[in-house]
Amino acid sequence: MSDAPEPHRDIDAHSGVETTGHEWDGLKELNNPAPRWWLIVWMLTIVWAIGYWVVYPSWPTLSGHTKGIAGWTQYDKLKHEQAEITQRQSGWLGKFHKASFAEIKQDPVLFEFARAGGEVVFKENCAACHGAGGEGRRGYPNLNDDDWLFGGTAEDIYNTINVGSHSTHPNTHAVAMPAFGAVMGREGMLTPAQIDDVATYVSYLRQPVASAAFTRGQAVFQQNCVSCHGEGGIGNRQMGAPRLNDAIWLYGGDKATLVQTITKGRAGVMPSWQSRMSDDSRRQVAIYVHSLGGGE
């Protein structure tokens, strides 16, 4: 703010503002500097950054990164926060641990706690096959409907989660639909014509029609299928034999799929989860699946 310009200063005649001395084609750059406090703040941020480097992990090195004197890491932070969450949950978990399914059902808050936990466990472990909302897909049962292979009470579901199907568990559900057709050089139990008839019969079980194929198929069914699928295809949960007179099909209810199923057989696999997650988690998942809509 001195009045007289110093000799080396170049003052722009038009605006009276000092120039930087840079000139392009006769145009000069005016020098309108930032206020000092701004500059000081900028320098302070640099000082802050240097302090930060000392205290916190910051610079990459060949074998990792500088650690900082505070010893702070994201892993520690995560561990700390997880411990906090476990601590917060422990009250409810303790209560849940001791309660039976019936007792849990009596306590709406405890039930919602179990259901919320079960949903998380389900999404992490079960959704890969059964879908994010338990909607299932071909060969993997939809858990939202009211059709259950091995029973739909919370206890039944819990048991199925424990033992799996065709799993390594000693008590696994291990029922397979045998192949009735000629496969791998073995002679079939039924001829292709019989299979065609019985497929026709099964596909019309919900709305029976009077036709020769239906009647022929009924006879084949009585001889070969009733022992597992029951009279009129009502299914058998003891065996894990699906109900055939409902609207729900695990592999498909069209004739071509039925022919394929009868000819080649089916054996769905679900692993046993007993050794893969805690008992609390398995019971939570059972409650969640039971609440999806079809629970009995």
Positions in the binding site for other proteins (CB under 8 A): 1, 9, 18, 20-21, 31, 33-39, 105-109, 111-112, 115, 131-135, 142, 144-147, 206, 243, 246-248, 290-291, 293-295
Look up residue 107 and give its amino acid: D
Nearer to other proteins, 115 or 173 (CB): 115
Shorter beta-carbon distance to other proteins: residue 103 or 176: 103
Residue 285 backbone phi and psi in degrees, to 5 = -60, -40
Q: Which is nearer to other proteins, 132 or 183 (CB)?
A: 132
What letters, b where the CB count within 10 A reaches 16 and e where it falls short, cover 232-251? ebebbeeebbbbbbbeebbe
User: What single DSSP character describes residue 177?
Assistant: B
Give whichever of 220 and 289 is closer to other proteins, judged by the CB atom.
Answer: 289
Residues in CB range of 228: below 8 A, 6 or more apart: 175, 236, 239, 241
Report, in Å, the least distance between residue 20 CB and other proteins.
6
Residue closer to other proteins (CB basis): 145 or 155: 145
User: In whole angstroms, how close is the CB of 177 to other proteins at the nearest point?
Assistant: 19
The least CB distance from residue 205 to other proteins, in Å, is 12
CB of 256 to other proteins, least distance (A): 20
| Distance in Å, CB of 106 to other proteins, minimum | 8
Element (H, E) at 113: helix 108-125
Shortest Cβ distance from residue 14 to other proteins (Å)? 17
Instruction: Reduce the DSSP state of residue 146 to 3 states and report it.
Output: coil
Q: What whole-number distance in Å separates Cα of residue 259 and Cα of residue 277?
A: 38
CB of 26 or CB of 33, closer to other proteins: 33
Judged by CB, which is closer to other proteins: 78, or 132?
A: 132
Q: Can you give the C-alpha Rg of the chain in angstroms?
A: 36
**178: amino acid identity, one letter:** P
CB of 4 to other proteins, least distance (A): 15
- CB of 187 vs other proteins, minimal distance in Å: 36
Residue 172: CB atoms within 10 A of its CB come to 18
Nearer to other proteins, 38 or 52 (CB): 38
Give yes or no for a contact between 175 and 240, defined as CB atoms under 8 angstroms apart: yes
Residue 234 to residue 243: CA distance in whole angstroms: 5
* Exposed/middle/buried for residue 274 (C-beta within 10 Å: 0-12, 13-18, 19+): middle
Other beta carbons within 10 angstroms of residue 287's beta carbon come to 27
Q: Which two tokens stand for residue 151?
A: 């029973």
